[in-house]
Amino acid sequence: MKTILLSLGIFMFLIVLLTGALITINHNTYIIGGNYIVTDGEVVHGNLGMFFAQVKLEKGARVEGALLSFSSTLDLCGNVNGQITSLESEVTVQQSAQVKEIPKDTGIFPFVVILPEMARWNISISG
């Protein structure tokens, strides 16, 4: 059990570290932990990455790029122009959602870990 927890802790640390490195390279939006809602009329410019978070994309909201979800819950009601990639995440696609393809979870574990709000980087939303 200790080995599994240590491995999970190291993995989470690496995710946060790599996310920090990615932020300095591009202008995408990243959400780590907490609950986040993209409301009707808002547009996320670029890609949206979420880690250990609960995110809802309301009807009328739009993501111009791709969605990357790791150990998160994602409720899609709006428009996503790019690819949706989920790992260890629960993704719900509502009838009002406009997506290129229905995402498939590529995870191994049958659970999602949600953390309290930890960070929001490069929030690039207009509307």
Q: Where are the domains of the chain?
A: 2-126
pTM: 0.70
pLDDT tens for 30-88 read: 888 888 999 999 999 889 999 889 999 999 999 999 998 888 899 999 999 999 988 88
Each as own residue / partner, the long-range contacts of residues 42-47 (CB below 8 Å, 24 or more positions apart, any chain) are: 42/125, 42/126, 42/127, 43/125, 43/126, 43/127, 44/124, 44/125, 45/124, 45/125, 45/126, 46/124, 47/82
